[in-house]
């Protein structure tokens, strides 16, 4: 009888032990599921932070490039910024000379343009202030020859619509090129020109004298005149439709 009771007590103890083990297993399982549900709760937070970093990147893309208006490739030369001879170190590309530092970009841009149309060629690159003065005077003389009633001042005013006086042309920087399929301004096939206007920033260039921007540049539309400003600035200026004058103003206000 005593041993029977002892057996029963053992069985009860054994059962109680199993129940405890079961309870422990169940509890730890609950814990794990809480943990994994914790993981699922973390995921959306992670996605939010990923989204945030994408939008941060986007705002960085549209932010002004980290450049200075005093960087060599951003030198501003126009009729309001008359500049003396700059004597850049020159390198010949095709049949013209440019600032040695942009020769590779010019070569690559020309090559890409010739893939659009093999007729693309370089018309002009570096021109000294002295040569620009001669060039400007020769245009003034031509205007006066074709219309002898013009005064010097009237002839100069006329010439300024398509050429710059010495010291006012950015060709003296060695950072400007004229690139077209033909040797005449605004006479090239429009669709070919549009294609190279779009690809110019990939090589660090901008179309310098755009339509409707004469108020800022003082120069009318020129389909062939490209100016090297560096890839970051070229992309930003093109995306935001800015002339070099407007872009430099923004950099100075930064
Ligand atoms: Zn030009």
Instruction: Tell me what pLDDT residue 6 has.
Output: 61
Ligand 1 centroid – CA 226 distance (Å):
7
Ligand 1 centroid – CA 224 distance (Å):
7
Instruction: Tell me what pLDDT residue 162 has.
Output: 86
Instruction: Tell me what pLDDT residue 17 has.
Output: 54
More confident of the two residues 218 and 140: 140
- Given a contact cutoff of 8 angstroms between Cβ atoms, the answer to whether 200 and 229 are in contact is no
Ligand 1 centroid – CA 43 distance (Å):
56
Ligand 1 centroid – CA 70 distance (Å):
22
Percentage of the chain beyond pLDDT 70 is 76
Instruction: Tell me what pLDDT residue 15 has.
Output: 56
Q: Which of 140, 136, 207, 135 is nearest to 178 (CA)?
A: 207
The sign one gets for the Cα dihedral 153, 155, 157, 160 is negative
Percentage of the chain beyond pLDDT 90 is 72
Ligand 1 centroid – CA 136 distance (Å):
13
| Residue 238 CA: distances (Å) to CA of 13, 229, 253 | 84, 11, 19
Identify the weakest region by mean pLDDT among 10-19, 128-137, 140-149: 10-19
d(Cα 11, Cα 4) in Å, to the nearest integer?
11
More confident of the two residues 194 and 13: 194
Ligand 1 centroid – CA 176 distance (Å):
6
Q: Measured between alpha carbons, how far apart are the two ends of the chain, in Å?
A: 99
| Span 23-59, pLDDT tens digits | 554 544 444 344 433 343 334 444 444 444 444 444 4
Instruction: Tell me what pLDDT residue 254 has.
Output: 85
Q: Which of 240, 168, 169, 178 is nearest to 205 (CA)?
A: 178
| Span 145-170, pLDDT tens digits | 999 999 999 999 999 888 999 999 99
d(Cα 182, Cα 224) in Å, to the nearest integer?
9
Residue 7's pLDDT band, with cuts at 50, 70 and 90, is low
d(Cα 139, Cα 132) in Å, to the nearest integer?
11
| Span 203-249, pLDDT tens digits | 999 999 999 999 999 899 999 999 999 999 999 999 999 999 999 99
Ligand 1 centroid – CA 55 distance (Å):
39
pLDDT above 70 for 184: yes
Ligand 1 centroid – CA 240 distance (Å):
22
Instruction: Tell me what pLDDT residue 62 has.
Output: 74
Residue 18's pLDDT band, with cuts at 50, 70 and 90, is low
Degrees to nearest 5, angle at CA 225 with 224 and 229: 135
Give the mean pLDDT of 6-12: 59
Ligand 1 centroid – CA 210 distance (Å):
12
pLDDT above 70 for 95: yes
Ligand 1 centroid – CA 204 distance (Å):
16
Instruction: Tell me what pLDDT residue 32 has.
Output: 38
Ligand 1 centroid – CA 75 distance (Å):
15
Instruction: Tell me what pLDDT residue 84 has.
Output: 96
């Amino acid at each position: 009888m005593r041993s029977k009771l002892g057996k029963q007590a053992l069985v009860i103890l054994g059962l109680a032990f199993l129940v405890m083990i079961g309870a422990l297993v169940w509890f730890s399982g609950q814990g794990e599921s809480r943990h994994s549900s914790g993981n699922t709760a973390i995921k959306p937070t992670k996605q939010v932070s990923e989204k945030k970093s994408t939008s941060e990147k986007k705002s960085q893309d549209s932010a002004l490039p980290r450049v200075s208006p005093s960087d060599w490739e951003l030198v501003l030369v126009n009729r309001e910024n008359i500049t003396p001879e700059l004597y850049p170190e020159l390198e010949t590309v095709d049949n013209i000379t440019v600032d040695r530092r942009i020769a590779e970009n010019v070569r690559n841009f020309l090559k890409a343009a010739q893939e659009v149309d093999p007729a693309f060629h370089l018309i002009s690159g570096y021109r000294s202030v002295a040569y620009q003065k001669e060039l400007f005077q020769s245009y003034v003389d031509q205007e006066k020859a074709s219309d002898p009633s013009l005064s010097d001042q009237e002839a100069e005013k006329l010439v300024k619509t398509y050429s710059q006086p010495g010291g006012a042309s950015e060709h003296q920087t060695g950072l400007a090129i004229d690139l077209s399929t033909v040797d005449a301004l605004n006479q090239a096939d429009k669709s070919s020109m549009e294609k190279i206007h779009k690809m110019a920033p990939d090589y660090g260039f901008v179309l310098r004298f755009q339509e409707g921007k004469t108020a800022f540049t003082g120069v009318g539309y020129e389909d062939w005149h490209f100016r090297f400003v560096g890839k970051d600035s070229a992309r930003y200026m093109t995306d935001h439709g800015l002339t070099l004058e407007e872009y430099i103003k923004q950099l100075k206000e930064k």
